[in-house]
Chain A
Amino acid sequence: MSQTEHKIIQKAAAGDRSAFRELVLEHSHAMFRLAWRLTSDESAAEDIVQEAFIKAWRKIDGFRMESSFKSWLHRITVNTAMDYLRKHSRRKQFETEEPEWDPGLQSAEMPVHDTQIDIQKQTEAAMMDLSEVERSALLLKHFEGHSINEIAQMLEITTGACKQAIFRAVKKMRVALRPLVTT
């Protein structure tokens, strides 16, 4: 964390709204990207970003300066997205126990096309076919570069469960995306 950001966070934690606005301007895009990747829904992602920032404003005096502010915001964003998905009945399977999964069936359902738009669509479909915890863990690892320990804390699961979620997500993604590599 830079000295400048450190000072801005301190001011925001003391109730300085203009300082908090600086944080909103700085982090909105990144939070939107994370929220969209969690939901694959633009409108939902925008709602989640707004709600997450409101939560952050209410909790910012409890933020520990020695930790990463970005990680802290990510944690709030992930939790808000999870709540959103639950409320909107788009939740799949959050529990550690996974339902029977048939990789052959899933890959057969994925038509192979050459265009890059199809690749994007298939990647999105594969990503959204993951359970919430799998998708969250994979996104936070793959796109955000958080450590497994950090992700486990964000998702409030054990490190072992976090690893297993990533492993399951990777297995499913590989089966879904394999046809695109071989074409």
Chain B
Amino acid sequence: MKHITDDDLTLLFYGEHEDPKLAATVADSSELSARFDILSAELRLADNFVPPHRGDSYGAEVWQKISPQLGGDAGKSKSIIKGWLSAISQPRFSLAGAFSFVLVAALAFTLGRNGGQSPNGDPGQIIDMPTVALQGLNTQRLLSHSVSSHLEQVNVVLTQFANSSESSANEAGDATDMLVANRLYRQAATRRGNKQLAEFLADLEPLLIEMAYEAQSASAATRERMQQEIRNGLLFRIRVMNKQLKKTEISV
């Protein structure tokens, strides 16, 4: 077997590795899992690189400064002055989640194999499977079930975010975990050829990225925009997709 380098694990962490089997290989090896856990914990510390907060009026201030240099009429900027959000930049560092990430990675790999493993599947397909994958696994059903559980968690995290006026460190941590899992399930759905599910999960990613890395230092206006995006249809779409997945679970 090819030696797995830290560069490979870095690409896996960022969802960029070209080998779809790597996640399962890592999950199947205690040595690789341990290395991956440490790398994840160390890279998550980079989340502490938190910019200073800018108030709601920052965008208007930028506009006032640049508008005379744009030429033409004077800008129509109006002052947007609201209260400042208290800057909450609670750093977080924890090994929690890294283990579950490995499990998700392994699961996502197993579920994402082209064609999956039908109950009466081709035994030849099992030869290359890591031991984490179970023989006779109905991967289509398991994919639906796993993504459904994932969407339920996303639903909870987004609902809390949409109804909270202030950010918290937990919020960013939850969003990071959701983001990592979401990427893996998206890759699994892509590999299975489930374009609709893959596109839906891809649609969730920009918001999860914003929640994970920007929401803590975002202005109230930006937070409100994100909350509106969640309320205006995203939660509904998640529930509809979840319902579809649950139907798939039953019918498969």
The answer to whether B54 and A123 have CB atoms under 8 Å apart is no
CB nearest neighbor in A for B60: A25
Interface of A is mostly: helix
The answer to whether B69 and A144 have CB atoms under 8 Å apart is no
Q: Which of A29-37, A76-84, A89-97, A98-106 lines the interface with chain B?
A: A29-37
Determine the chain A residues whose CB is within 8 A of the CB of B60 once the complex forms. Answer: 25
Residue-wise, chain B 53-83 has the 8 Å CB interface mask toward A (1 for contact) of 0100011101101110110110111001000
Interface of B is mostly: helix
CB nearest neighbor in A for B14: A141
Q: Is B42 an interface residue (CB 8 A)?
A: yes
The answer to whether B54 and A29 have CB atoms under 8 Å apart is yes
Interface size class of A (residues with CB under 8 A): 35 or more
B76: contacting residue among A21, A46, A53, A147, CB under 8 A: A21
Q: How far apart are B2's CB and chain A's nearest CB, in angstroms? A: 17
Determine the chain B residues whose CB is within 8 A of the CB of A141 once the complex forms. Answer: 14
The answer to whether A28 and B62 have CB atoms under 8 Å apart is yes
The answer to whether B46 and A173 have CB atoms under 8 Å apart is yes
CA A181 – CA B44 in complex, angstroms?
10
The answer to whether A21 and B51 have CB atoms under 8 Å apart is no
CA A178 – CA B91 in complex, angstroms?
15
The answer to whether A50 and B48 have CB atoms under 8 Å apart is no
A54-B69 CB under 8 A given contacts A123-B46, A177-B46, A181-B38: yes
Interface size class of B (residues with CB under 8 A): 35 or more
CB nearest neighbor in B for A51: B66
The answer to whether B65 and A119 have CB atoms under 8 Å apart is no
Determine the chain A residues whose CB is within 8 A of the CB of B69 once the complex forms. Answer: 54
| B183-235 CB contacts (< 8 Å) to partner A | 205-206, 209, 213-214, 217-219, 221-222, 225
A50-B62 CB under 8 A given contacts A29-B218, A116-B90, A148-B16: yes
Q: Is A112 an interface residue (CB 8 A)?
A: no
A17: contacting residue among B7, B14, B72, B91, CB under 8 A: B72
Residue-wise, chain B 33-54 has the 8 Å CB interface mask toward A (1 for contact) of 0000011011101101111101
CB nearest neighbor in B for A122: B48
CA A181 – CA B47 in complex, angstroms?
13
CB nearest neighbor in A for B53: A29
CA A174 – CA B6 in complex, angstroms?
11
CA A21 – CA B43 in complex, angstroms?
36
26 contacts between A and B (CB under 8 A): A17-B67, A17-B76, A21-B76, A25-B60, A26-B225, A27-B59, A37-B49, A50-B65, A54-B69, A54-B70, A57-B66, A119-B93, A120-B49, A120-B50, A141-B14, A142-B14, A167-B6, A167-B7, A167-B10, A173-B43, A173-B45, A174-B42, A177-B45, A177-B46, A178-B42, A181-B38
Q: Which 7 A-B pairs have the closest CB atoms?
A: A25-B59, A28-B59, A36-B51, A123-B48, A145-B209, A177-B45, A143-B213
B residues near A, CB below 8 A? 6-7, 10-11, 14, 16, 38-39, 41-43, 45-46, 48-52, 54, 58-60, 62-63, 65-67, 69-70, 72-73, 75-77, 80, 89-91, 93, 95, 179, 205-206, 209, 213-214, 217-219, 221-222, 225
